[in-house]
Structure 1
Amino acid sequence: MTGDRVRWTNGVRRRSLLNPVYAAALLFHPAWIPPALDPSIDTLRRVRTIAGLLTCFGVHVALADFSIPSPLSKINNVVLILLTVHPVTVGVMLLVWRKRGHQVRTLRVPVLRGFILLASYVGALLILIQLTIASPESETSPGAEMIHIGVALWLFCFVIVASLAVIKNLFGSAAIHPSLPALLATIITWLAALLDLNTDEVVLGVVLVLSGPVTVTAVAVLELSRLRRHHGIELLTHPGAPPQPGQPRPGGGADFQPFWFAVPVTRPLFAEDGSPNPVAQLTPGTWYLAVEQRCEGLVAQTQDGHRGVLRDSSDIERG
């Protein structure tokens, strides 16, 4: 990628980081994650998030499994699944896209950012586990004990908000491919559910545990179907990575695949009829959708639905 890249945040005040809710939202829902391609996909992702939460916590509520060792073991399982599934799935899809003739080197920035999100989340979980297991020694002063409890509570709130964010955006995987969050959610949910099947309540356990991944899978299929039918995006074909030398390049028509992009500096978006007056201004730090390539420029759509021609597409960053 060339040009200035979208920052992790659009600005932050140091005092705001003392708020665990704000800090978690800032870190785990950064500005570089592109928004959903349309409101329906965003709704499907919200439903998938709720189904994922039910998979994580519904079984423990229904089976009254509130003992400390059990939640800690579940967190350990989650850490193991995340550290395995996310890198392996992303690596396999990169190999698939490369084999199908796409240059995956342009994806190194969103892939690296996703790994940073994954490492940050896993690190927060592990620190929370240590603070939960460890307790201040009897000789510890009341002040130190209060600090220990305060840090643990801050981190607990931080992890809860972070979990809500990563369950929806799956570590910013939409910046790699719009279909990747649905795939990751399905795999992670099924693996987590299968690890929860070791319960004495066999029939109840199977119903409760498997209802979550079945729902997540159904929502993921709808999400992938809408991406394919309404936006021409398929999982096996990467919409943002340019083809390798010798492969046909996007040039409009049926061969063009929509992709998200950001501009390095403010640039005007002109009307499609060729009039000289701009219809909008594209600003850095915001994602826009490229829907067509024409001889006069790149046809782009803003997040509020305005369309126009970006005549200067040099140094844009693909999402």
Structure 2
Amino acid sequence: MFTPSRPDRVDDPVVKKVQVFRTVVGLVAVTWMLLSYGIASDADAVMNDRFGQIRTTLIVLAVTFPVAVAVFIAAARPPNRRLFLRRAVKPAGALLALVVTLAVPRLITGLGYVTEDTDWTASAGRVVLLFALGAFCLWLAPFGFYGIAQSLVHVFRTADVHETVPPLLATLLVWEVALFDAFRGAYDGVPFAVRMAFILGAPLTVTAVALWELRRLRTRHGITLRAALLR
């Protein structure tokens, strides 16, 4: 559901290793900063901070994704415009699946089916509902976590549209999140120089990796943005 599946897609394992290495180094650095400067008191606080960042990223990505892909398709000339439009169906489906997955638990509680005052032993029907919801959540939780991880790694499988879309979209996304962090005062309490280093560290490194990936696509595989758009 969340990984690219286009048969003729170029999948460069070297690029994937560099992306994973950058992500791990960034996570270690942020964890060190949160603990060193007392922003997070323990591992649970670090996890809460990272989940908050992931939630922000997903929201920004959900808004940016359709606009960026639409601009990419509109910039392409026929017949590639129609081709990319067909290919965009699966990435859009991945986005919709993740939104539905994250919305279902809130929908269940919001409609009043499950509340803090629910008496599960009041009737046999509620017991059946308890087991049904439990089984559903046992499947939904790992599906949602896996979907979040894969969506961030594969940028909602936009490589199915074209190989150049993920690095371009990732660069746009990470700069948007950096601006959001700057305006909301992320890492408040950390010295200004360190805070700027961490706010700008992610977009600068992601941009560097994206430019390197685009160059590698051009030099190793003959894939360019200009050729994709038939410009």
Mark yes or no: TM-score above 0.5.
Answer: yes
What amino acid sits opposite 1:231 in the alignment?
A: H
Partner of 1:201: 189
Residue of 51, 54, 66 corresponding to 2:27: 54
Provide closer, same or farther for how the CA distance between residues 97 and 215 of structure 1 changes in structure 2, counting only shifts above 3 A: same
Question: Structure 1 CA distance, aligned partners of 2:72 and 2:198?
Answer: 31
Question: Structure 1 CA distance, aligned partners of 2:15 and 2:47?
Answer: 37
Partner of 1:253: none
* 1:138 lines up with 2:143 in the alignment: no
* 1:44 lines up with 2:18 in the alignment: yes
Partner of 1:78: 57
* 1:104 lines up with 2:81 in the alignment: yes
Deviations 1:27-50 (A, max 9, x none): 2126336554443233334446x2
Deviations 1:111-134 (A, max 9, x none): 111111111112222335557999
Shift of 1:228: 1.3
TM-score normalized by structure 2? 0.71
Shift of 1:183: 0.9
Question: Structure 1 CA distance, aligned partners of 2:134 and 2:61?
Answer: 28
Question: Structure 1 CA distance, aligned partners of 2:67 and 2:165?
Answer: 12
Provide closer, same or farther for how the CA distance between residues 219 and 70 of structure 1 changes in structure 2, counting only shifts above 3 A: closer
TM-score normalized by structure 1? 0.53
Shift of 1:178: 0.9
Shift of 1:226: 0.7
What amino acid sits opposite 1:229 in the alignment?
A: T
- Listed as ranges, the gaps of 5+ residues in structure 2 are 122-126
Deviations 1:78-128 (A, max 9, x none): 343122211111111222222xx6531122221111111111112222335
Q: Is the 8 A contact 2:171 2:203 kept in 1?
A: yes
Question: Structure 2 CA distance, aligned partners of 1:118 and 1:210?
Answer: 27
What amino acid sits opposite 1:212 in the alignment?
A: A
- Listed as ranges, the gaps of 5+ residues in structure 1 are 1-26, 248-319
Question: Structure 2 CA distance, aligned partners of 1:116 and 1:59?
Answer: 37
* 1:188 lines up with 2:173 in the alignment: yes
Partner of 1:175: 160
Provide closer, same or farther for how the CA distance between residues 148 and 54 of structure 1 changes in structure 2, counting only shifts above 3 A: farther
Q: Bigger radius of gyration, 1 or 2?
A: 1
SS of residue paired to 2:223: coil
Provide closer, same or farther for how the CA distance between residues 70 and 146 of structure 1 changes in structure 2, counting only shifts above 3 A: farther
Question: Structure 2 CA distance, aligned partners of 1:141 and 1:75?
Answer: 34
What amino acid sits opposite 1:233 in the alignment?
A: I
Question: Structure 1 CA distance, aligned partners of 2:48 and 2:27?
Answer: 20
Residue of 198, 206, 210 corresponding to 1:216: 206
Shift of 1:60: 9.6
Q: How much identity, in percent, do the aligned residues show?
A: 27
Q: How many pairs were matched up?
A: 211
- Structure in which a larger fraction of residues adopt helix: 2
Provide closer, same or farther for how the CA distance between residues 233 and 31 of structure 1 changes in structure 2, counting only shifts above 3 A: closer
* 1:126 lines up with 2:126 in the alignment: no
Provide closer, same or farther for how the CA distance between residues 185 and 30 of structure 1 changes in structure 2, counting only shifts above 3 A: closer
Shift of 1:53: 7.8
Shift of 1:70: 7.2
Question: Structure 2 CA distance, aligned partners of 1:123 and 1:195?
Answer: 25
Partner of 2:2: 28
Provide closer, same or farther for how the CA distance between residues 180 and 67 of structure 1 changes in structure 2, counting only shifts above 3 A: closer
Partner of 1:114: 91
Question: Structure 2 CA distance, aligned partners of 1:167 and 1:67?
Answer: 19
Residue of 144, 147, 158 corresponding to 1:159: 144
Shift of 1:179: 1.2
Q: CA RMSD in A?
A: 3.8
Q: Is the 8 A contact 1:52 1:216 kept in 2?
A: no
Q: Is the 8 A contact 1:52 1:213 kept in 2?
A: no
Shift of 1:181: 0.7
